[in-house]
Amino acid sequence: MSTTTLPLAPMPRTAARSRQLVAASERTTLDPFREIDWSVPIDDSAFHLPPELLPLYGTSAWDAMDEAGRLAYSRHETAALCGAGIWFENVLMQVVLRHLADIPVTDPAHRYLLVEVADECRHSMMFGEYIRRAGTPAYRPTLSPHFLSDEAPGARAVSYLLILAVEELLDFMNRATMRDERVHPTSRAIARLHVLEEARHVSFAKTYLAELLPTLSDEDRTVVADAAPVLVEVVADLSVDPAVYEHLGIEGGLEMAQANPHHRSTIVAGLAKLTTFLTEIGVIDDAHRAAWGALAA
Ligand SMILES: [Fe+2]
Ligand SMILES: [Fe+2]
């Protein structure tokens, strides 16, 4: 029978940030089933994402669609993004729950991380409600959500890095969505709620990573730096769901979306805050810059 490792000592900056974030969560925590008017039909009266954020925007498949086709296509891509959001939040909650099992309840991060899990539970219910009301298939990534190893050196740093990548990319998409008057009010309300609560998660992940990395051995830090661009590429890949094109009968849609330079530039822009931060904390250094390609040019 294996024994659990001793609880990790609280990290001072992460502890101070956790106290601030618990206070911020006490001031503002939103219930999507009160905040969002779900009686408004999720129909094709408007785009569900800004059209420029859609993976096929600017391709010949996009040019071939009429206005009604583009609106319906945006509803399916939004449902796929919600499905990817639920998948990511599931992965993330598993990381956070394992982290919680390792730290003592007296560490201020303990209470904050439980708040974060509670936030993600509400977000996943909200994304699920969108999909259930949007009349689309229940899109979700086919990649196993259990792909992160807990045993590898630097595993927790790698996991939080993945969390941060997803949160920064979604933040970019959500901010553009909530501000765009062409977008359906339900999509805008979902995006606004998510931006507000995810800002706390981003803040925790950045503080924790910046404090954790210098405590790792050089060898483990190299493992993290090697894994980071690979994981971020997984995140970028999951922004395109082949099932959308199959369901809508868009011939060659997946290949077009994957090769679309406009979509690639959306991903690069969406990950710009992440790559700036990773450069600051030394995860992207001269030895690793080439592996990041255009993402950290
Ligand atoms: Fe979330
Ligand atoms: Fe989050």
For residue range 117-130, list pLDDT tens digits in order: 999 999 999 999 99
**What's the gap in Å between 121 CA and the centre of ligand 2?**
10
More confident residue, 295 or 203: 203
What is the number of the ligand closest to the CA of 162?
A: 2
**What's the gap in Å between 123 CA and the centre of ligand 1?**
5
Mean pLDDT of the chain: 93
**What's the gap in Å between 83 CA and the centre of ligand 1?**
12
**What's the gap in Å between 22 CA and the centre of ligand 2?**
14
CA distance 257 to 254: 5
Question: What value does the mean pLDDT take over residues 45-52?
Answer: 98
Question: What value does the mean pLDDT take over residues 170-177?
Answer: 97
**What's the gap in Å between 152 CA and the centre of ligand 2?**
23
CA distance 52 to 40: 24
pLDDT tens digits along 214-255 = 999 999 999 999 999 998 888 888 999 999 999 999 999 999
More confident residue, 154 or 18: 18
**What's the gap in Å between 158 CA and the centre of ligand 1?**
19
CA atoms within 13 A on the CB side of 116: 29
Residue 232's nearest CA partner among 172, 279, 163, 289 is 163
Position 3 scores a pLDDT of: 47
CA distance 137 to 125: 16
Residues with CB under 5 A from ligand 1 (ion): 120, 123
> Please, are residues 198 and 167 in contact by the beta-carbon 8 Å criterion?
yes
Position 7 scores a pLDDT of: 52
**What's the gap in Å between 222 CA and the centre of ligand 1?**
29
Given a cut of 60, whether residue 1 has pLDDT beyond it is no
Question: What value does the mean pLDDT take over residues 48-59?
Answer: 98
**What's the gap in Å between 166 CA and the centre of ligand 2?**
8
Query: Model confidence at 152, in pLDDT bands (50, 70, 90)?
Result: low
Position 2 scores a pLDDT of: 44
What is the number of the ligand closest to the CA of 120?
A: 1
For residue 181, give every residue at least 6 positions away whose Cβ sits within 8 Å of its Cβ, in sequence order, or none: none
**What's the gap in Å between 252 CA and the centre of ligand 2?**
33
The model's pTM: 0.94
Query: Model confidence at 4, in pLDDT bands (50, 70, 90)?
Result: very low
CA distance 132 to 116: 24
